[in-house]
Amino acid sequence: MTPSILIVGATGNTGRAVARTLPKLLQSNRTLNGNRIIALTRSSSSPVAHELAKLPGVEVIEQNWVEITADWLREHEVARAFIASHNEPNQFAEESTFYVNALSASVKYVVRISTTAANVRPDCPAYYPRQHWAIEALLDSPEFNNLQWTSLQPNIFSPLIMFPAVEFIKKYRKTGEQDTLRLILSDDAPVGIIDPDEIGVIAAHLLAQDDTSVHNKAKYILNGPVDITGRQIVGMIERHIGAPVKDVRYKDVSFIDMLYEHQYAATKQSKNVIYSIKRAPETAWEGKCSSSTTSKEILEIAAPKRTPADVLETLLDE
Task: Kindly report, residue by residue over 252-274, the tens digit of the pLDDT.
Answer: 999 999 999 998 988 889 999 99
Work out how many domains the chain is built from and give that number. 2
Based on the domain organization, do 215 and 230 belong to the same domain?
A: no
Is there a domain that residue 318 lies in?
A: no
- Give residue 2's pLDDT band: very low, low, confident or very high (50, 70, 90): confident
For the stretch 36-91, pLDDT in tens is 999 999 888 889 999 999 998 899 999 999 999 999 999 999 999 999 999 999 99
Share above pLDDT 70 across residues of the chain, in percent, rounded to a whole number = 100
Do 128 and 202 fall into the same domain? yes
Average pLDDT over residues 11-27: 94
- 18 is a domain residue: yes
* Distance (Å, whole) CA 178 – CA 161: 18
- The answer to whether residue 40 sits within a structural domain is yes
- Tell me the sheet residues that pair with 152: 113, 220
Instruction: Please tell me whether residues 81 and 214 are part of one structural domain.
Output: yes
Which residue has better confidence, 103 or 34? 103
Domain that holds residue 101: 4-155+196-222+290-304
Please tell me whether residues 9 and 145 are part of one structural domain: yes
d(CA 252, CA 186): 8
Q: Could you tell me if residue 313 is inside a domain?
A: no
Residues 130, 12, single domain; the answer is yes
Asked whether residue 10 carries a pLDDT value surpassing 90, the answer given is yes
